[in-house]
Structure formats: C-alpha cells, structure tokens
Structure 1
Amino acid sequence: MYSADTEVTVNGITLRGHQVRGQRKVLTIEALEFLAHLHRTFEPRRRELLADREEVKARISEGWTPDFPEETRAIREDDTWKVAPLAPGLNYRQVEITGPVDRKMTVNALNSGALGWMADFEDSSTPAWENVVCGQINMRDAIRRQIDFRTEAGKRYRLDPEPEERIPTINVRPRGLHLMEDHLLIDGEPIAGALMDFGLYFFHNAQELIARGRGPYFYLPKLEHYREARWWNEVFCAAQDYLGLERGTIRATVLIETITAAFQMEEILYELREHAAGLNAGRWDYIFSIIKMFRDRGAQYVLPDRVQVTMTAPMMRAYTEQLVRACHRRGASAIGGMAAQIPNRRDPQANTAALEKVHADKLREATDGFDGSWVAHPDLVPIAREAFDEVLGGCPHQIRTRTRQDVVPDAEGLLNVGATEGEITEAGIRTNIDVGIRYMDSWLRGSGAAAIHGLMEDAATAEISRSQIWQWIDAGAQARMSDDGTMRRVTRRWVEELVDDVFSQLPRSAGDRFDEARELFVASALAKEFPAFLTVPAYEQCLSAVSQAPSQQEAPEQVGGRRPQGSSAGSRGGEMAA
C-alpha cells in the first residue's frame, strides 16, 4: 500500500500506487515517459469526446432518435475503400477465448487451443492497482514464454511446449474511455485507464511480438461515435512514431456494443482503415446501451427479463447481420459474441445442455457469416470450433464468400426494441438483484469475471441487471408474480423488499464483501438519477488511490528499479532517480 504523503514525482509523473511485486519490469522510467507523452497529447480530446457523449444522451432523452449520419453518407456509399489486409495471426479467428489477465487465466488461455485470446483489462478485470500492474507483468512474461503459476496447494500451471504459430494470437482490451487510473498522475491529473493499459502493453511488447511473427493487436471497447475511433487512430499513429514502427503495425478490432456505434460501423472502420482488423458483436454491453440510452423514453424501449433477450430478437438480428455486412464489405473480420455458459463436469445432464446451447449459438453465427466468435471457458473451444468448421469447411474466414449484400442497412430494425418477445417477471427481478450483488462482491474482492448460476458474468451483465431495474421502476412496468401469476407494478418499495429477501439468502463467508456490494448495487439501481456506469462509483469509493490510502505507510518501491531521491515515509514530492 502507499500513503498520499509518500507520492513519488519526476518530470510531472506521479506514482502513488502501492508496491507490487515485479513492478520494475513494467513501471520503468522510459515506459512512464511514454505514458506521459500520450496523456499530454490526447487527454484534452478524450475529455471533449466524453462531453459529446453526454450531449448525445441529452438529445435522445429529449426525443431525438439515432440514425445513419448524413455527414458521412459519402463514406458509406463509396464502394472502393477497404481496410488493411489481415495481419499475421489474424487470418484464422474462428474461436477466441476471453478472460482477465491474471496469471492463471493467462496460462490457461494460451493452452486452451483457441486461435486467439482477448486478454481483458476491462469488463472481466477488477481495476485494482495490483491487477493493473500484474496484468502487464503477466502479458510481458507470457509473450516471452516465461510465465508459470503455482497455487497455494502446490498445483503448477505452465505453458504447453507449442510452436509459436500455434499459440493463440493475443488481442488486448484496454479499459473504456470513461475509466481513469488515479494511481498514476501526469501533471497532477489521473491518466485515462485506456492509455495506461494500451501504452504499457504496446511499449513493452510491440517489438517482441513483431519478432515472433505477430503484432500489437487490440480490442477497443464501448466506442459511441466514429470520432472516438479517429481518436484511437491518432493514438496508434503517435505510439508507432514514438517507437519508430511502421504505421499499420497496430491492428484493432472494435466492439460494437453501443446503440449509437451500430449506426456508424462503416465509419468506424474507415477512421481506423490502416489499423482496422474487424468488428465484434459485444452483445451484453449492446443490450445495456439500449437500456441506458432509451431508459426514459417510455414503454416502447422497455425490454423483458434479460434471459429472454436472445440473439434471435429482431433488434439483435438486425444488429448482427448489419455488422457482418459492414465488415465483409470493407475486408474486415466479423467476430461474434460471447458464449457465457460454464461447463459443469459434475452434472453431465446440465453439462450436455450447456454445450448444446453453445453449439447452436455458434452455428447460428457462422451461418450468418461471422468469421469467428468468443467463448469464456477452455472446454467450449472445441465446441465452437466444430460449429464454425461445419459452415466454413476449413476456410479461414468468410470475408469474400459470405458478403451479406442481401442485408439492407435498416435504422428501424436496429431500434425495434418493442418486438422483443417476453415479459418482466418477479423471478427476473430477483435474478437481477442476485446476480448484481454477487457480481459486485466478486468485483470488490478482485475478480471481475464471476461464475454465477452456470454463466460467466462480467461488468456488462451486472450493468444490465441494475439498469433494467432502474428502467422498470421509472417506466412503471408490470411484472408477473411467481406465486399466482398476477401482474404487479414494479416500484422502488417493492424492489427494496425483494433486495432484503434476496440478500438474506446469499451464502455468507469470511472475507465476503456482500454488504458493500449490496450498497453499491442498490445505490445504482434505485438512484433518482441514472448513474452512467456501475463500476465508476465503485472504483472511486473502493479501489481508487484516495479511497485506499491508509494513515501511515512505507514509501513505494523505486520506479523501474531506480530509487526515488528524497522520498521516504513522510516526504512529499520526492524525485525518481534519473
């Protein structure tokens, strides 16, 4: 841990995170200077983009409905432009495993047999300082094949002796533009989590990845406008110039997981042209975005229980089919969504049912034209691969063979929320409460990916859970009761009663953080004004540098292996040795 009285500063760069074992590998002076360069160059524009998001949300609340932008019509109607050719390691992407960047998951992901790994610093990772730093250490070690892991019980995890070309291609997902990392200050300002995650990974690993026949590849989350893709493209150009790399070395797959981005898919690819690798159908965040953006627009935009919002719903079909069309029209890969089922080896019947669901989901995606998809567990890799092989027949992708020119861009289809079949139920409200609190307990204890009731939950599904409750209360929605099937209006008072009941049944144990989890979830789900994100106040209250500062603390380890001059317990503004 650290103390605010022992912050270490040099050249405007302040580290106030506690000492993490091995941090000298990644928190070097040179790397921090690179982060400072990115922050000073791109932070002002990032803030403007976040302000633009608020303006768009205000317009939607006032009645404006998103549409395909008129100012970019020429880009959409120009048939001549394409993104860069597929980069090394991104030609075959039928199955990508996803998960946080802890050491055990890193080893398991690289041994999973998947073709790619989405190494996640975002929704499935709790952004505690130790997780952030250790995640970077793990990525550095994994790329150099110097990683292993031993549990407290003595079980050892190590990389299989596979040739380089058979190791899953790594695509790192940095945090979204709205998240900060306040353990690292530049000129007194917290750096954006996105720049922190991208910058450290790129700085330490780009050259090594290139030498090993791959490259620095990324997933970009939660973009809401093509101007945000332009911002990332400028970041990429500046980063490559800084290290003397050829522009286009970086490649990025953009998650289309906001309703506004769904109207700008081709524009997003256009802005990233030389760096674009594809688009991904981030289904859970996409559903959250629809609820969030239209939460106060009445019953027309109210969805039923989460479990009933499937990929066959008309709005989800429109979204995924238009995504495949946009990608293949421009030479990019279309990557499908997450299979969240968790195999249950102790229950053969449940396990078979889960695997059948995954196979059917992946077969649907492959038939629709997707080139690959995500799974959350190594046991699902062969199931997904089999489904794609049934359709692709050994071909690497469907970019040229399944162009989906039969799909017509359809604004009304993307917004056809009311056609989603299903209903709101008491059981659905209880599930949202249960999952939301359980997930936040896991998040607070350091794990942003939580297996709950047979599904892998992350921040996106927790966001759906709390935002649905908020919207149902605000809209005065009716829910079907479990005992007698009658309908009851969803009110704050009733939800509070259900929270009490659900909470009383949670399995308590030493070290759980259910009390804090309940407080955070309820504050978000029952707030008078809708909080934009659940994890932002959770970070500020529980994981930030200020919230964790103890009253007395030893000075942090020297940065990059260099002892801070003039820094000791009780001193402020010490310098890092040059």
Structure 2
Amino acid sequence: MLELESVQLQKAPSGLEREFQTLFTTDALEFLSELISTFQAEVDRVLNLRILRKVQLDLTAELPGFLQETANIRDDSTWRVNPVPQRLNCRHVDIGDLSPCDTQRFIKGLKSAAQGLQIDFDDGNCPTYRNQIQGIYNVYMAVHNQIQDAPVISQAPVLMLRPRAWNMVEHNMMVNGREVPGPLFDFGLLMFHNAQLLLQNQSGPFFYLSKVESYIEARMWSHIFFWTEKKLGLPEGCIKATVLIECVLASFEMEEILFELKEHSAGLNCGIWDYSASFVNKFGHRADFLLPDRSKYVDMEKQFLHSYMDLLVQTCHRRGALATGGMAALLLPRDKESDLCKLKLLEIQAGVDGFMVYDMDLIEPMQELFKFHSQGLNQLHKLRNDVIVTPEDLLIMPAGGVTLYGLRYNIAVGILFIEAWLSGRGHFFYLGKVEDSATAEISRSQVWQWIRHQVRLEDNGIVVTRDLVRGLAHNLIEDLLEAIHCKSHRDKQRLLTALSMFLEIVQKNNFPEFITTYLNLDHTFLSSQSQYEEEQLNGPPKSRL
C-alpha cells in the first residue's frame, strides 16, 4: 500500500512494476487526489439523483417526457456547440470495443485505416487492476510515440478515450478514506499523462462518455473538463467528448446534454443494446414495457429505436454536432457483408456521421459505403427537418413474443459474459459476434423480465419460469464449454460459477441496475480475480496439475 497524504494506492500487480512507476508518480497522485476530492460530492449527488428519479418513476408510475423546466433551451434556435477540431470532422468508421490492455489488438488498431479508435475502459473491458494499469500505460506509450512499428500519434487514428461509467468504482485506490469513482481514476490518469502531447499533435484529448442519464450529469462532466483544463494549463474547451445516449431517460434530454457540454461537445452516439436494456432497468416491472425477443423482434427499424436515432441525428445536426451510430458486432465470414451493409445503410440514410465496427476487416468496406451514400466528411447538412418525434414514439414497445431460441441465446450470452469477467476479459466471441457488457445487459435484463412477467414461449406455450431457465442453463453447459475452449477442470468450475451467478442475478426480486456493478462489487468476482491473476503469473496450484 502506497500512501500520499489522503491517498492510499495498492502496490503494483506482479510484472507491472515499470508501468506502475511510470503512471503513479508523486505529481500524478497529487493531481488525482485533488481531482477526486474536488468532485466526489458532486458525483455522490448525481448518483443519488439517479436513485431518486427511479423511485419517483416507481412510486408515481409516471412516464418520462421532454422537460418543462428546460423548454427555453430547446426553443432557442440560435445556440450551437463549438466546432470540433479538424481531425474530428470525419468520423465515418471507428474501431469499437478496443480494450487497450489487449496490446496486440491495440497496436493493430493504431496501424489501421480507421478514423478513430474507441479506447474502451468500459463496455469491452474487464476493469481488473492489472487491466487498467496495462491499458492506461499502453495509451501512454502510444501518445509518447514509444511503440515500435506503430505510427506516430499524429498519423494514427484519433484515440477516443472511454473511461468507465459512474456506476463503477476503483477498488485499489482510496482518497479521504473512500474508494474512488472509476471514471475519475481513468480520466485523471489519461489526462495528466497525455493531454499536452495529444493537443500538440492535434490528436485530442477526445473522449466517449458512457451511460450519461441526464443533463445534470453532462453538467458535472463540463465542470470536470473546465477544472482539468485550468489545472493542467490547457486551452479552455480543448477537451472534446461524445456522449453515448444509452439510457431512455437521456433521450428526452439530448438538447440539454449538448447545451451543457457545448464548449466540449463532439456530438452524441446511439446504440441499440444498452439503450434497449435501459427500458427494463427503468420500467421492467411494468407489463406494458415487456420487451420481446431481441433476436427476432428488436432492431433499428422498430419505431422506438428508429425514432430515437432520428431524434438524435436531428438534435445533433440542428446544433452543429456530430451524430454517430452503434457498433457492427459481426465477425465476418465475407458472405454476410451484404447483410451488414443493408443494416448500416439505414443509419447512413438516417443521417449519422459515422459508426463503429469490431472486425477490422470491415473498416474499408464501411468507409466505401459512406463515400458512396453520403457527401463529404460528414452529414451535418442533413438537418432532418422531416422528423417529428413524440414521447409516445420513444416509449412504444415493439410487438412480438419470446422464442425458445432467443431465451437460450440470452442465457448463453449472460453466462459467457460473467465467465469472461471471471477470466479477466471484458468481451468474448459467440456465434460469429463479439459480445460485451452491452449485450450481456440486454440478455440478462430480458431473462429477468420474462421470468417476472411469466411470459409464454411462442414455440410451445410453456411459461418462462426460474425452473425453466435453470434447466436450460444446465442443458447449455456442454455447448458453453466448447465455446470457451475448455481445457481444464478449473475452466469448467469457472463456467459453473458463472452459471450460478447468472441464475442469481436473473432471479433477484429487485432488478440489479447494472450487471457490471453487480460483478464489480461481488465477493466471488473479486476473490476469483485474485486467484486468476496469481495463476496467470505462477501457474495453477500444484494440487490441480
């Protein structure tokens, strides 16, 4: 344990002493301490307001709508966000879910032709201490042009740094006797070590902001940005951030979110699965918000999602901000490229200025799609004046039921995600797609909701119960062992632990707000991580050899 006045920091994980000493200098710790001390009370207030809003929704059964108290912001047609730097004007294709602790993939991304890299400490990353230190260090090395055979930072795709969301804490650092907010830990270290060089190279600092639920939270990020710029001697407004609209409540406050961040805005982003899961999060106990089988009935052509994307594009372009779409999670066989092009063409036609892919082989085909079906570096000229979106449009659930295939698929994704976290990985591959916390959220949310509302399967009329889910989960074990390439008794035991944890979370009386919060605070996960990291360095216990 290292101490610096009010700061306590766990020692370096074995094998990462050099990285630890590079990042956690005395000056860096002092900066982190002051950043966290300055904003801890505001973070607490924001999280308490989230709880209050949820309680109000539950007690009153009210529905969200466009806010009366901020109508003046929406009605004022004169304001715009500040222009973005030149390197952000074209955002056609970013690489998504790029966990920076995966050094090989990170370097491959730096060498790619993508416009940007989503350096993901959130959805696609498992935030072990080792992963956070390695990931932040890899960013440091890239920005300081110390990665052999990688392009200099001014020639590489721009780094869109995505710190953890506000529901996550960093267990390995304490300030004033409290574990620190995960996003401040990530943001503070990334800014302290890299901001000046990124700015000098016209390459940042640029960020993605995850799981923002209200304009109040956007205002807090604005306060953090202004404070950090002043503290580090940076020009005011040089930090630029894209806000991911991943919560249904935030979809009613998009103009206000842009207004609060107008000096720092790089636009808004829409994605399908976290956003869909937020309906269960906020309204899942209500029968009229039953979300049907996502594998069959939920896509961006459905009214509630299409309205959300149209409104996001209209809002952004009205205010001079970029609007970006979600991630293509497919890992191609090439014969599926045409299907993906059709889906992404819908987003381009709606007016998005870019989107993300996971498979780097998709970068150039998707860039060509943009060149052929849009004009110029972006689509800011597409104002979408034809769009009229009502609260009802944003809240209407698609028709459809539940299939046995969809139930089995959701169970598999939920279990495999927990198994991945127990292994220190933030994403995994299943049936030709990359899966991460976003797809895990919608998967476990739907299983919880279908049990709660005792829905019947379309296939045979059987009611979805905890016993049915438990039986299907156990019947999937052999398939899941093959999916994780099970090689040892330890692998099988970890999968069985994940199965037990999945069944626990989908049977809880009260819906756990985020699966990542549940995992990050759960003793099973934390103890498993300690054992896993020890085995990675020293090998498994001799009794298991």
Give the structure-1-normalised TM-score.
Answer: 0.87
1:356-395 matches, within 5 Å, as 356-393=338-375, 395=376
Other-structure match for 1:316 = 305
Other-structure match for 2:543 = none
Other-structure match for 1:167 = 156
Match 2:508 to one of 520, 527, 531: 527
1:352 is aligned with what amino acid? Answer: D
2:204 is aligned with what amino acid? Answer: G
Deviation at 1:166, TM superposition (A): 4.1
Other-structure match for 1:135 = 135
Where 2:70 maps in the other structure, the secondary structure is: helix
Match 2:36 to one of 39, 45, 63: 39
Deviation at 1:548, TM superposition (A): 6.0
Match 2:53 to one of 49, 52, 56: 56
Deviation at 1:390, TM superposition (A): 1.4
Which of the pair is proportionally richer in helix?
2
Percent of aligned pairs sharing the same letter: 36
Deviation at 1:66, TM superposition (A): 0.4
Where 1:277 maps in the other structure, the secondary structure is: strand
**Higher relative contact order (Cα pairs below 8 Å, separated by 6+ residues):** 1
1:74-153 matches, within 5 Å, as 74-98=72-96, 99-102=98-101, 103-148=103-148
Where 2:445 maps in the other structure, the secondary structure is: helix
Asked whether the equivalents of residues 256 and 282 of structure 1 are also in contact (C-alpha less than 8 Å), the reply is yes
1:487 is aligned with what amino acid? Answer: G
Distance 2:471 2:529 in 1: 32
Q: CA RMSD in A?
A: 1.8
1:318-337 matches, within 5 Å, as 318-337=307-326
Deviation at 1:317, TM superposition (A): 0.5
Deviation at 1:546, TM superposition (A): 7.6
Where 1:518 maps in the other structure, the secondary structure is: helix
Distance 1:116 1:535 in 2: 26
Unmatched runs of 5 consecutive residues or more in structure 1: 1-6, 149-157, 345-350, 554-578
Asked whether the equivalents of residues 106 and 142 of structure 1 are also in contact (C-alpha less than 8 Å), the reply is no
Cα pair distance change 1:260/1:333, threshold 3 Å: same
Using the TM superposition, name which of 227-236 and 468-477 deviates more.
468-477
Deviation at 1:519, TM superposition (A): 2.1
Asked whether the equivalents of residues 305 and 422 of structure 1 are also in contact (C-alpha less than 8 Å), the reply is no
2:502 is aligned with what amino acid? Answer: F
Cα pair distance change 1:467/1:366, threshold 3 Å: same
2:112 is aligned with what amino acid? Answer: S
1:42 is aligned with what amino acid? Answer: F
Asked if 1:497 corresponds to 2:471, the answer is yes
Distance 1:112 1:525 in 2: 40
Match 2:232 to one of 239, 243, 246: 243
Match 1:416 to one of 390, 393, 396: 396
Where 1:135 maps in the other structure, the secondary structure is: helix
Distance 1:338 1:224 in 2: 20
Give the structure-2-normalised TM-score.
Answer: 0.92
Distance 1:455 1:549 in 2: 29
1:400-439 matches, within 5 Å, as 401-417=381-397, 420-439=398-417
1:209-358 matches, within 5 Å, as 209-344=198-333, 351-353=334-336, 355-358=337-340
Distance 1:189 1:307 in 2: 45
Count of residues paired in the alignment: 519
2:389 is aligned with what amino acid? Answer: P
Match 1:454 to one of 402, 426, 432: 432
Distance 1:545 1:318 in 2: 40
1:166-185 matches, within 5 Å, as 166-185=155-174
Deviation at 1:459, TM superposition (A): 0.5
1:508-523 matches, within 5 Å, as 508-510=486-488, 511-512=490-491, 513-523=494-504
1:364 is aligned with what amino acid? Answer: L
Asked whether the equivalents of residues 283 and 289 of structure 2 are also in contact (C-alpha less than 8 Å), the reply is no
Other-structure match for 1:488 = 462
- Give deviations 1:204-257, integer Å, cap 9, x for gaps: 000011111222110000011100000000000110111111110100000001
2:49 is aligned with what amino acid? Answer: D
Cα pair distance change 1:296/1:430, threshold 3 Å: same
Distance 1:315 1:497 in 2: 33
Where 2:263 maps in the other structure, the secondary structure is: helix
Cα pair distance change 1:548/1:321, threshold 3 Å: closer
Deviation at 1:119, TM superposition (A): 0.4
Asked whether the equivalents of residues 280 and 289 of structure 2 are also in contact (C-alpha less than 8 Å), the reply is no
Match 2:444 to one of 459, 466, 470: 466
1:488 is aligned with what amino acid? Answer: I
Distance 2:404 2:364 in 1: 37
- Give deviations 1:78-113, integer Å, cap 9, x for gaps: 000000101131011011111111211211111221
Asked whether the equivalents of residues 182 and 545 of structure 1 are also in contact (C-alpha less than 8 Å), the reply is no
Distance 1:288 1:300 in 2: 11
Deviation at 1:458, TM superposition (A): 0.5
Distance 1:307 1:88 in 2: 41
Distance 1:490 1:547 in 2: 31
Distance 2:81 2:390 in 1: 23
Asked whether the equivalents of residues 422 and 529 of structure 2 are also in contact (C-alpha less than 8 Å), the reply is no
Distance 1:164 1:529 in 2: 46
Distance 1:342 1:487 in 2: 34
- Give deviations 1:489-533, integer Å, cap 9, x for gaps: 111121111112112442232252212211221111111221111
Asked whether the equivalents of residues 423 and 529 of structure 2 are also in contact (C-alpha less than 8 Å), the reply is no
Cα pair distance change 1:232/1:545, threshold 3 Å: same
Other-structure match for 2:541 = none
Asked whether the equivalents of residues 145 and 153 of structure 2 are also in contact (C-alpha less than 8 Å), the reply is no
Asked whether the equivalents of residues 521 and 534 of structure 1 are also in contact (C-alpha less than 8 Å), the reply is no
Distance 1:459 1:164 in 2: 29
Deviation at 1:542, TM superposition (A): 5.4
Using the TM superposition, name which of 361-370 and 17-26 deviates more.
17-26
Cα pair distance change 1:509/1:385, threshold 3 Å: same
Other-structure match for 2:6 = 12
Using the TM superposition, name which of 440-449 and 325-334 deviates more.
440-449
Distance 1:166 1:204 in 2: 19
Distance 2:348 2:176 in 1: 49
Asked whether the equivalents of residues 322 and 353 of structure 2 are also in contact (C-alpha less than 8 Å), the reply is yes
Cα pair distance change 1:17/1:226, threshold 3 Å: farther
1:402 is aligned with what amino acid? Answer: K
Deviation at 1:540, TM superposition (A): 2.3
Where 1:332 maps in the other structure, the secondary structure is: coil
